Every structure is written in structure tokens, then in C-alpha cells.
Amino acid sequence: MNRISLHENKVLKLQNVVSLGMNMEENVNIDLLIDKMDTYIQTHGAKQIGPLIQATSFEIKDDGAVDIKMQFMLQTDNFIHNVEPPYKMDSILRVKNCLYARYIGPEDKLKFAYDKLGVYAFENDIELEGCNYTIYVDRNEEDETMVADVFMPVKE
């Protein structure tokens, strides 16, 4: 059963977050990047907890081209000290006042959650910051459905 439920004024709170930023112009195997992140976490005495989080932001350059930046994040069971580049570590990441959507449906239709949040913001005169956080909560390989939480911060 496909469904998108929407809520206002939600807070995204993450703890012990290892992140890796990348520019979308790079041609990279994302699954391999995530595996390397998980290995990095394990070799530094921690364990991944929770699902993958993807942060996406858009910036329009002077020439009109769109620069898409992505950041992949994994939470760990404890704080990792002395994290080396390209990784970054945050003890707490808190994003307040977000529009939030819980998406349940086929993976290739996840864009409808972003669209629904954008239309809702438009209809209610809500100005968004222009970035989003997607938490890949669950995936069912058998029927090719997924559960994802999408957070879009509202401009203050």
C-alpha cells in the first residue's frame, strides 16, 4: 500500500554521526562508499546504528548551473575521536522546524515525497531552505517497496 503522510514542525536529531560529503559531478559507486564508511566505523571501535541518512542541497552557480551536494551519514553507538578526512564526526546534529514526510512505496517513486512536501510548502506559503534529509528506514526486497523519512528544513 503506497502512502505519504506529512507533518509540520518536526525536529531531526541524530547522535554520533559520521558523514562523508561528495559532489554529484563525481562518478562514484555509492554502495561502495557506504561499505567503506561502515568499515571505517568498525575499525575505529564503533558500530553503525540505524539506517543510512542522505542530505542533499542545491546551489545555483553564477553561470546558472546547479551544483548538487550530497552528504551520506551513519550514526554510531559511540563517538569516534580523531576522525580523518574525508570523514567528519558530529556528536549531535539537530535540525529544527522541518516539514516531514513518511514515504511507503516503490523505491523509484520516492520523488513523490519530495514533490508532496514542495507542493505543501507552496500552498501554505512556507519557504524552505533548499536542502533535505532522507532516512532510508526499511527496504523490502521481495515486493520492492521501501520506507523513508524525508525532512525539509523551513527557513526561519
pLDDT at 24: 65
Whether 70 and 86 have beta carbons less than 8 Å apart is answered as no
Name the residue among 55, 49, 147 with its Cα closest to residue 105.
147
Q: For residue 47, give Cα distances in angstroms to 44, 85, 109, 152.
A: 9, 19, 31, 28
- Candidate CATH numbers 3.10.580.10, 3.40.366.10, 3.30.70.920, 3.20.80.10; the one for domain 3-153: 3.20.80.10
pLDDT at 66: 78
**What's the pTM?**
0.90
Rounded to whole angstroms, how far apart are CA atoms 124 and 119? 9
Domain-by-domain residue ranges, the chain?
3-153
pLDDT at 122: 97
Tell me the three cell numbers of residue 116: 508532496
DSSP 8-state symbol, 126: -
Q: Could you report the per-residue pLDDT of 99-110, keeping only the tens digit for each?
A: 999 999 999 999
Please list the pLDDT of the chain residue by residue as tens digits (156 residues).
899 999 999 999 999 999 999 876 667 788 888 999 999 999 999 999 999 999 999 877 788 787 788 999 999 999 999 999 999 999 999 999 999 999 999 999 999 999 999 999 999 999 999 999 999 999 988 888 999 999 999 998
pLDDT at 62: 82
pLDDT at 67: 79
Q: For residue 11, give Cα distances in angstroms to 63, 84, 149, 153.
A: 35, 29, 12, 9
Strand partners, 72: 20, 54
Rounded to whole angstroms, how far apart are CA atoms 53 and 43? 21
